[in-house]
Structure formats: structure tokens, C-alpha cells
Amino acid sequence: MVNVGVLGATGMVGQRFIQLLDKHPDFEITALAASSRSAGKRYEDATTWYLNESMPESVKDITVCETSPEAMSNDVDILFSSLPTEFAAKVEPEFAKDYVVASNASAMRMVDDVPLVIPEVNPEFLDLIEIQQKNRGWDGFIVTNPNCSTIALTLTLKPIYDAFKINKVYVSTMQAVSGAGYNGVPSMAIVDNLIPYIGNEEEKMESETLHLLGNLDGTDVVNADFSLSASCHRVGVIDGHTEAVFVELDKNEDIADIKNVMVNFKGLPQELDLYSSPKNPVIVKDEDDRPQPRLDRLSDNGMAVTVGRLRKDAAMDNSFKYVLVGHNTIRGAAGASVLNAELINKKIL
């Protein structure tokens, strides 16, 4: 068993980390860090628990510590981070001197020597770890996973990208409120309403997706060579991001072939049979009215992305379109970091 800790343990994604790590065959939670307001308290006393699944017994009595390497006891190897961006930028490098940091924060994602990884998509980017450690003289390192809406999109684009040539992608999202944290979206903003804006979300989707589908050329990532435009919106759904995707290829492909590459897509986690890996990263449904976030977000424990309405785009040359649903706090956040850590644990540690 590898001892692990969670940074930002009382927040929404922190709670998901705890839920996913509870009863994990390889990882055992031994440290929970949060703000100084929570430090020193039992986790149960420090936390307002928001998840439908109840708080695991195993963490209730853990004493929350402050979020600094000094406050962290030594018996931890991997730290999962769901820290806010600015704080992550400051503190994750300090932890990385001694620990493996598997981070869901956006702070370090686009830093040159920090791997931004989806295990099914670009596991080879983990080669950057060695460079990172050398550059910085760290014993530990930082590995990051992408933004929630990016992960779901990229998992569905990867098999397309490998089999065909993509020219352009347009994506319009309908994102769940949990993505903004428990207090992020007031009910006045979302009952009988939607919000057509999520700060920095479009920029993240547009840059991270091309990075993830790019190639690692020595120490540099060369972005994938197509154009991607995103429009991001918040709707009154608790969990599960929905995305409408329009894809233009360089030539006409049969829709059955496109479905085929999605359905048959497997990656390294499936090959290695990692504990959190879904049987199929992408599930394709044929019903007209799927995917729906409430019905499909928990497919394969929230780790699979569900695609539906896959159809030729009659209006556009060489084009097709589809809708996807992915669980934003499992596959799109905590589960992504855990899967990264499982891969690292198997291949690197």
C-alpha cells in the first residue's frame, strides 16, 4: 500500500478524492491538508460533506493538517491536490521537492516540464518527469490532469485523431454547477436560467486539448495541428458536463467507421488494467435522447465518457457531430488525478 494525502481535502473535489481513494487496493489515505481554519480538527468536524455518498469511516478521525510541507507528516508518498490556482502555484512546487504531487489544479498544467496527462491519451508525456526533476533538483515531481471539460472532449477526440485527420472542432458545453465548487453558482443564477460564461474555461479547453493530442518531441510538446473553438455555459445540473461537438475532417469518412474507432478505443490504463480505469473510456449510445447527465454521468463509476447522437453533419463537408457526457468531478477531476497516480505507481515509482 502506498500512503497518500489530499491537499484541499475539505472542498468539493477534495471530498471526491476521499470517496475514490476509500477502499482503494493500492492507496491508503494517511494525511488530509486544508486551510488553517480546519487544521487541528478531526476531518469529520472540519468538513461539511456535500456528496451523495456518505463520508468514509476511515477518514473521519484523521486530524487535518495545514497545507505546507512542514505540517505534513512523513509517511506519505503521493499527494493529490485540488488547491485553488494561485495557492497551488505557490505551494505545489514546495511539496514536489519531496513528494509526488498528482494535481487537479490548473496552475502548473501548461508549464514546459510538467506533464499534463490523460493516461489513455498521452501517457508518454510522463517522460517529462525526469526532465522536471533534473531541471529543478527535486526528489518528487508534479503531474497534472486537464480541466474537466477538456478531459471528456479529448477522450472522445483521441480515437478520431489517431484514425483520421481532423481539420476543425467546435464545441459548445453545458456544464454542471459542481464544477464551480459548492458555493460557486448561486441558485438565483441557475433556477429557470443558465449562465453563458465560465471564466477561463474556453481558453483552457482550446489550449489543453491541442497540447494533450500533441507529441512530446524531446523536452517539448508539439501541439496537435487542428483548430478548436469552445463556447462554455453553465446549466442547472449537479454533476456531469454535456458537450455538443462538431468535427470537420479532411475528407469524407463513413459514420460507421467513426463510431467504430470510438467504441474500440482502449489505452494504456485498459492494457495495464489499472484499478480506476473504465473498461471502455468512450461508450457510444444509439438512443436518440442520450447521453443525459443524470443517467450517464456514473457510467463505469464515473470514469467513462458517454457519447450519443453521433451523426453525419449533412450541412458541412467531411463533417460529423455528436454529444458527450462526462462526470466533471470524477473523470474530470479527482478520478483523473487518481488514474494518473495509478499509472505512475505502476510504471515509475
- The answer to the question of residue 146 lying near its own copies (CB under 8 A) is no
The minimum distance between CB 321 and its own copies, in angstroms, equals 6
Instruction: Tell me the catalytic residues.
Output: 148, 241
Q: In the complex with its own copies, which residue's Cβ is closer, 11 or 119? A: 11
Contacts of residue 52, Cβ cutoff 8 Å, sequence gap at least 6:
none
- The answer to the question of residue 244 lying near its own copies (CB under 8 A) is yes
Residues 232, 149: contact at Cβ < 8 Å?
yes
- Considering only residues 280 through 309, tell me which ones interact with its own copies, judged by CB under 8 A: 288-295, 298-299, 308-309
Only one of the segments 37-45, 102-110, 129-137, 175-183 lies at the binding site for its own copies (rule: CB under 8 A); that segment is 175-183
Phi, psi values for residue 232, rounded to 5°? -120, 135
- The answer to the question of residue 191 lying near its own copies (CB under 8 A) is yes
The minimum distance between CB 184 and its own copies, in angstroms, equals 7
Contacts of residue 307, Cβ cutoff 8 Å, sequence gap at least 6:
156, 262, 282, 283, 284, 285, 291, 322, 323, 324
Q: How far is residue 31's CA from residue 233's CA, in Å, rounded to a whole number? A: 36
Size of the residue set binding its own copies (CB under 8 A): 62
Residues 154, 118: contact at Cβ < 8 Å?
yes
Q: In the complex with its own copies, which residue's Cβ is closer, 272 or 298? A: 298
- The answer to the question of residue 22 lying near its own copies (CB under 8 A) is no
3-state SS assignment for residue 242: strand
Contacts of residue 128, Cβ cutoff 8 Å, sequence gap at least 6:
113, 114, 115, 216, 219
One-letter amino acid for residue 73 of the chain: S
- The answer to the question of residue 318 lying near its own copies (CB under 8 A) is no
The minimum distance between CB 189 and its own copies, in angstroms, equals 7
Q: In the complex with its own copies, which residue's Cβ is closer, 71 or 186? A: 186
Residues 173, 230: contact at Cβ < 8 Å?
yes
Q: Which residues make up the interface to its own copies (CB under 8 A)?
A: 49-52, 54, 168, 170, 172, 174, 177-178, 182-197, 199, 206, 227-231, 233, 235-238, 242, 244, 246, 288-295, 298-299, 308-309, 313-317, 319, 321, 323
